[in-house]
Chains A and B, each alone.
Chain A
Amino acid sequence: MSVLAVFCALLVVLPLILVFFYLLKMGFSSLNLNFFTKVPTAAGENGGGMANAIVGTLELMGLALIMGVPLGLLGGIFLSEHGSERTNGWIRFGADVLNGVPSIVWGMACYTLVVVPMGGYSAFAGGLALSFIMVPLVLRTTEEVLVLVPHAYREAGLALGIPHWKITVNIVLRTAFKGIVTGVLLGLGRVAGETAPILFTALGSTSWNHSLKEPIAALPIQIYYYAISPFEDQNRQAWAGALVLIVIVFLLSTSVRMISNRRKRA
């Protein structure tokens, strides 16, 4: 029986090893200077790159950060510092349910709310769809971290006569800062790889993006289009793009681990 359990563990780890192996094998050879500096060429021509997609992913992550984190942060503060137990329980439950909604639904909602009134696909719509994913995530992680701040800190502030909101902002938030940053980075890591929400909001593009109202390219969506394309050069670029994407995602999760380890040691 123990052998079975070991076997299960091995089978679980196997796909990760295989994915890494193939990403490196198929993608590494296509990573060249062209890839990082050029935009996609016409279909069938060789020698394009994904520069606009890489920049676009970073831009969309920034948009999701600006639009999603403040709401999630403030909501998490409410859950941990104010409110009654019953309403908080419902809000927490609602956030957990929203976390489980398929991300394509956020894309559909943003399409109706932003793309149709605006008359076109835009980076703003893509960032908004991604921020819908970030808000419940950041809300829950912020609340979990704030609850861990010892009560004595708040009571010390009260004893000094500091207004309650100043206690929350200057003492509690500052103490929990690393945990909040961890939660935000986890959310960003998830958002960086999301394709479905930006399929019909930001649309992807083959040129540089110049304003929030234009469509924007992003790594996940470019990988998707290139993977299902019949041209072999584009398929190879899809692997290279996937390698870059997974490096970004893993950089984010390693920095999460580094931050939380530093916290434990201190």
Chain B
Amino acid sequence: MITASNPSLPATAADLPEPKRWGDRLFKTITFLSAAMVGVGFLLVAYVLIQGAWPAIKLYGWSFLSNTHWNPVTDNYGALPFIVGTLVTSLIALLIAVPLSVGTAIFLTDLAPLWMRQPLTSVIEMLAAVPSVIWGLWGLFVLMPWLHDVPYTWLNKHFSFIPLFAGPIEGSGACILTAGIIVAIMILPIVTSVSREILRSVPDLQREAAYGLGATRWEVTRIAVLSYARRGLMGAAVLGLGRALGETMAVTMVVGNSPKIHASLLQPGWTLASVIANQFGEASGEIQRSVLYEIGLVLVGVTILVNIGALILIKSIETPGSRRT
């Protein structure tokens, strides 16, 4: 950039001439190496996981992803139950959390009185700060017994003809649905805060135009705001999905730890992350450990892809200068 008053002066730090002093060059190298650690760290993790998983990859090939057995004695392993468990719990979590989060975001940006907005936002941030193991503890001793006594027995008694709610339920209440509910609670804060940012970035002009055409309050929100922000809200949901896929501790404590696929939501299951948490420390034999590395590889691959998708969706809606207070 060339300024009008003096064309030869640099206008930004990027225009500065390359550092000639050794102090500057040293500093730049040190900071560059630190930043490059991000790439190095990623490559390191990928290398470690692939190296650990290699024996299992050689042994099972692609059938690992469709096998449903889990037998440490005969070394017959398959990851399909965990993939299904992860997908189902994440789907349940999304179905519960996204409507609640978007509703709360709408409340925070449009409907709440001004004095309420900051405290409510702080409360939701506090929700995010609660560690996963504490959610697991609360889920294990408070939520699960209540879920078992009230909704599950009722669902099982009246609706067991639907395969989703069939089957004998565990006395403890540990099942896929419980895990889904806990994960939903855990992704509420991030989906709410990102949705709020997205809704805030919708230009005022959109709302004013809708009001000018005579829309009611809800119509303004639905037509002007939500359709404009649709891609960003999808990005918020996908970000929540990325978080839900990786939830480990809370899920381990309430999912029931069963390596079988059941059609019913009220039956126990397992997820990719929680099977690693349960079995990695006590894996007997090289093959079982290698299988767990492969599960970790699948988990990391899926999580990274989902997060990249989320980042692309979110960044595509934020244009500079369109923020609303």
- Chain A interface (Cβ within 8 Å of chain B)? 1-2, 4-9, 11-13, 15-16, 18-19, 22-23, 26, 70-79, 81-85, 91, 93-98, 100-106, 108-109, 111-113, 132, 135-136, 139, 151, 154, 158, 163-166, 168, 189, 192-196, 199-200, 203, 220-221, 223-224, 227-228, 235, 238-239, 242, 245-246, 249-250, 253, 257
Contact = CB atoms under 8 A, between A and B. Distances in A.
B68 to A, nearest CB: 23
Looking at chain B's contact residues, is the secondary structure mostly helix, strand, loop, or mixed?
A: helix
B205 interface: no
Contact of B243 (A100, A104, A250): A100
Contacts of B99: 8
B114 interface: no
Given A12-B188, A102-B248, A105-B45, A22 B138 contact: yes
B209 interface: no
Interface stretch (B33-41, B87-95, B159-167, B259-267): B33-41
B65 interface: no
Contacts of B292: 108
B49 A108 contact: yes
Given A101-B246, A195-B132, A75 B303 contact: no
A249 B130 contact: yes
A227 B48 contact: no
Nearest to A27: B137
A22 B142 contact: yes
B252 to A, nearest CB: 8
Interface in B182-205: 185, 188, 192
Nearest to B216: A1
B201 to A, nearest CB: 17
Contacts, number: 260
B141 interface: yes
21 contacts: A5-B110, A6-B111, A8-B106, A12-B104, A13-B123, A19-B135, A26-B141, A75-B37, A78-B32, A91-B36, A98-B42, A100-B243, A102-B299, A104-B248, A166-B23, A220-B249, A227-B140, A227-B253, A239-B141, A245-B134, A249-B129
B24 interface: yes
B52 A112 contact: yes
Given A74-B31, A196-B273, A223-B133, 13 more contacts: A8-B106, A13-B124, A84-B14, A97-B311, A151-B12, A151-B13, A165-B27, A168-B27, A195-B131, A195-B249, A200-B281, A220-B131, A250-B126
A72 B221 CA distance: 41
Contact of A75 (B38, B108, B111): B38
B217 to A, nearest CB: 7
B127 A100 contact: no
Interface in B272-325: 273, 276-277, 280-281, 292-293, 296, 299-300, 303-304, 307-308, 311
B59 interface: no
Contacts of B37: 71, 75, 135
B100 interface: yes
A75 B34 contact: yes
A113 B48 CA distance: 8
B134 A109 contact: no
Nearest to A12: B104
Interface string B236-254: 0001001101111100010
B246 A103 contact: yes
Given A9-B120, A98-B42, A108-B296, A196 B49 contact: no
B264 to A, nearest CB: 24
Contact of A74 (B34, B101, B120): B34
Q: What 7 A-B pairs are tightest by C-beta distance, nearest first?
A: A193-B131, A102-B246, A8-B103, A78-B31, A165-B27, A74-B34, A75-B35
Given A9-B120, A98-B41, A105-B299, A2 B217 contact: yes
Contact of B48 (A23, A96, A112, A139): A112
B73 interface: no
Contacts of A109: 44-45, 48-49
B19 interface: yes
Contact of A98 (B38, B106, B126): B38
B4 interface: no
A106 B126 CA distance: 25
Residue among B102, B130, B192 with most chain A CB within 10 A: B130
Contacts of A78: 28, 31-32, 34-35
